[in-house]
Amino acid sequence: MGNTGDTGSDEYLVLMKNIVKIYPDGTIALRGVDFTLRRGEIHGLLGENGAGKTTLMKILAGILKPTSGTIYVVGKKVVFSAAADALKLGIGMVHQNLSLIPSFTVYENIVLGLPRKQLLNARENINKLMSLTGLRVPLDERVEVLPFGVKQKVEILKMLFRNVDVLILDEPTTNLTLTETRELFNMINELKKMGKSVVFITHKLREVMEVADRITVLRKGRVVGEVPRAEANLNLLAQLMVGRNMISATSRETTTAGEELLIVRDLWVLSDLGTWAVRGVSLTVRSGEILGIAGVEGNGQKELVEGLTGLRRVEKGEVIFRGRRINNLPPSELYKLGIAHIPEDRTLMGLILDFTVSENSILSIQRSTSFRGFLNTLVWGRVAEHALSLITKFNITAPSLSSPVKYLSGGNQQRLVVAREISKEPQLIIAAQPTRGLDISATEHIRSLLLDFRKRGKAVLLVSSDLEEILQLSDRVAVMYEGRFVGIKNVSELTEDKLGLMLGGVSD
């Protein structure tokens, strides 16, 4: 790190000029971006996935090095060689997947790496900081047992305890409940009163309108707008962000629900910790319908999906698919019976990131005779044909069939997963958080694929913590709370407000 020269202006706490970032694989993430941050300002950084928001802020936080461009902090040119350098200058970033050490206590996470003299009164000072900011966390609890919202508070405290002036929050509300989001916004406003600056990275229009003083919109690595909140409105921001008028919500055609495909009676499933995660859930999914399961994450949805897809033992209850009991059958059997699965985490469960597009396109159907030739060996030509047909049919953008899927954007990775699952021609798709972290166009695309699947008389069991998605896609909606259903209702009987109550465990 070096402070050289006094160019740049004092008006801004942070001034980033003409930042370009080209990744080693050739991806151009930023194409000459200017960004400014004032003292005591809440600055919304808005954009779709892949717009370059996170890359830009990782550069400011010293985690990534820019390919070119300059950064001024309080008027002084700075070059960061590590995140620690930025932290010394009071710039701290809270990542979407937090960088905490799970097996350490909250206290240990906060004081990690501090010089000894700061450790003497650390506990006392953290307590002071907690009452000052209203961020209350249990200091002696191990981080891994805390819910996400609390972990995030720990991460923010960790930064504040290091006296940051600039706090960068990367999509902080992704995993938060409504109440937690409210708390976060209050906290951000408290920080503003303390004179701190906050960069709020998001793709959520309402949130940025609610919390930001000024909004910079990025699209495909360029700044396409910088608006004070007073001059902003939802439509303007949406247009800037997407570059076209926002697609109206996918309309749902009515279909008549047919036979009962999947019947679940009194299902009980354990969590990793050995406690009951699913406590007696019953449901039916008919052909031609989408059953949506809403709920704040961590209420047993993950275990429910894993129980139904053969990834986790069903302890009690019955799972019946087309008249056959399928409790605890292995996933491969379930595929053969006509159940496909779009898993929650595409990078861990849906794809093998280092495998190519072709290879990933036949995962779990690799035994199909259509890919086999002499002596049962795989015929790569046929695999490539299959992959190519998926790519064209489902509009997947990939550098080539032989590039590892890790080089595809999140949206295209998920398109590939969905395409592969649909290509198995199942009767039922169990889709968990199918559009999480995706940009608007990928989200719309995947939702329309699921609706299309339903229109063809098939069924979808949709698990999502995105209420808008649940309301847009589902025919019937169940809300999961503490391992149970708070109720199953037709979507026409529901409003977002009503759902909000149910999410909090309040049934009428």
Partner 1 sequence: MSYVLSTIINLLVSTSYAMTPLTLTAVGEITSERAGVVNIGLEGMISVSALVSVAVATQTLNPWLGLLAGVCAGALIGFIHGIISAYGKGAQIISGVGINIFALGFVPYMIIALWGVAGYKQVPEAGRIPRIAGLVSPIFIFCVLIAIATHYILFRTSLGLKIRALGEEPQAADTLGVHVERLQLIATVYGGALAGLAGAFMSLDWLGTITKEIAAGRGFISLALVVFSNWKPSLALLGGALFGSSWALTEWLKVLPGVKGVVPVTIINTLPYIVTLGTVAGVIGRARPPRKSGVPYLRE
Which residue in the set 2, 5, 102, 330 belongs to the binding site for partner 1 (CB under 8 A)?
A: 102
At its nearest, how many Å lie between partner 1 and the CB of residue 34? Answer: 23
Binding segment toward partner 1, per CB under 8 A, in 76-84, 192-200, 460-468, 486-494:
76-84
- Nearest residue to 298 (alpha-carbon basis) of 335, 319, 273, 315: 273
User: Which range in 44-52, 93-101, 194-202, 243-251 contacts partner 1 by CB under 8 A?
Assistant: 93-101
Residue 163 makes contact with partner 1 by CB under 8 A: no
Q: Identify any residues that bridge with 269 across adjacent strands, giving them in sequence order.
A: 278, 314
Q: Please pick, from the candidates 1, 9, 11, 114, the single residue that binds partner 1 as defined by CB under 8 A.
A: 114
Which one of 79-87, 221-229, 328-336, 400-408 is the stretch in contact with partner 1 (CB under 8 A)? 79-87
| Angle value at C-alpha 424, between 418 and 428, nearest 5 degrees | 75
| Closer residue to partner 1 in complex, CB, 104/276 | 104
Cβ contact 22:10 at 8 Å: no
Map the footprint of partner 1 across residues 49-68, applying CB under 8 A: 58, 63-64
DSSP 151-183: HHHHHHHHHHHTT-SEEEEESTTTT--HHHHHH
Question: Minimum distance from CB of 157 to partner 1 (Å)?
Answer: 13
Q: Half-sphere exposure (CA, 13 Å, Cβ side) for 361?
A: 30
> Contact with partner 1 (CB under 8 A): which of 13, 91, 100, 281?
100
The Cα 419–Cα 269 span in angstroms is 29
Give, in order, the Cα–Cα distances in Å from 12 to each of 6, 35, 75, 222. 13, 10, 7, 20
Helices marked H in 169-289 = 178-193, 205-211, 234-242
Pick from 86, 97, 17: which is nearest to 58 by CA? Answer: 86
Q: Is 270 or 471 the residue whose CB approaches partner 1 more closely? A: 270
> Considering only residues 324-343, where is the footprint of partner 1 by CB under 8 A?
none
Q: Is 76 in the site for partner 1 (CB under 8 A)?
A: no
**Token pair of 158 as six digits:** 């960790």
Residue with tokens 């928001």: 53
Which residue lies nearer to partner 1 by CB, 58 or 436? 58
CB of 169 to partner 1, least distance (A): 15
Kindly determine how many residues on this chain lie close enough to bind partner 1 according to the rule CB under 8 A.
24
Report if residue 87 touches partner 1, rule: CB under 8 A.
yes
Among 28, 101, 145, 249, binds partner 1 (CB under 8 A): 101
CB of 101 to partner 1, least distance (A): 5
Which of 36, 49, 109, 181 is the binder for partner 1 (CB under 8 A)? 109
Least distance (Å) between residue 217 CB and partner 1: 25
| Residue 74 binds partner 1, judged by CB under 8 A | no
C-alpha to C-alpha distances, 497 to 33, 222, 467, 506, nearest whole angstrom: 40, 37, 10, 11
Would you count residue 116 as binding partner 1 (CB under 8 A)? yes
- Residue 507 structure tokens: 């049934």
Instruction: For the segment 119-158, give every residue that binds partner 1 (CB under 8 A).
Output: 119, 158
Residue 161 or 394: the one with the smaller Cβ distance to partner 1 is 161
What percent of the chain is helix, strand and coil (3-state, nearest 5)?
A: 35, 25, 40
CA–CA separation, 95 and 92 (whole Å) = 10
Q: Quick one: 152 exposed, middle or buried, by C-beta within 10 A (0-12, 13-18, 19+)? A: buried
- Residue 54: helix, strand or coil by DSSP? helix
Residue 297 Cβ, how far from partner 1 at the closest point, in Å? Answer: 22
Smallest distance from partner 1 to CB 170, Å: 13
For partner 1, the binding residue among 7, 9, 18, 103 (CB under 8 A) is 103
Q: Which is nearer to partner 1, 112 or 348 (CB)?
A: 112
- How many angstroms from the chain centroid is the CA of residue 157? 22
26 touching partner 1, by CB under 8 A: no
84 binds partner 1 (CB under 8 A): yes
> Which of 196, 240, 210, 241 lies closest to 40, judged by CA?
196
82 or 506: CB nearest partner 1 = 82
How far CA 319 is from CA of 119, 267, 294, 428, in Å, comes to: 55, 8, 20, 14
CA 375 to CA 372: how far, in whole Å?
Answer: 8
CB of 112 to partner 1, least distance (A): 5
Cβ 237 to partner 1 shortest distance, Å: 29
| CB 197 to partner 1: min, Å | 19
The C-alpha R_g of the chain, in whole angstroms, comes to 24
Q: Which is nearer to partner 1, 59 or 362 (CB)?
A: 59
CB of 90 to partner 1, least distance (A): 13
Strand boundaries in 190-322, DSSP class E: 197-202, 214-219, 222-228, 260-270, 276-286, 290-294, 314-321
Residue type, 417: V
What is the distance between the alpha carbons of residues 266 and 368, in angstroms, rounded to a whole number? 35
Interacting span for partner 1 (CB under 8 A) from 78-86, 272-280, 345-353, 479-487: 78-86
**113 binds partner 1 per the rule CB under 8 A:** yes
> Based on CB atoms, which residue is closest to partner 1, 164 or 232?
164
The binding site for partner 1 (CB under 8 A) comprises 58, 63-64, 82-84, 87-88, 99-104, 108-109, 111-114, 116, 119, 158, 162
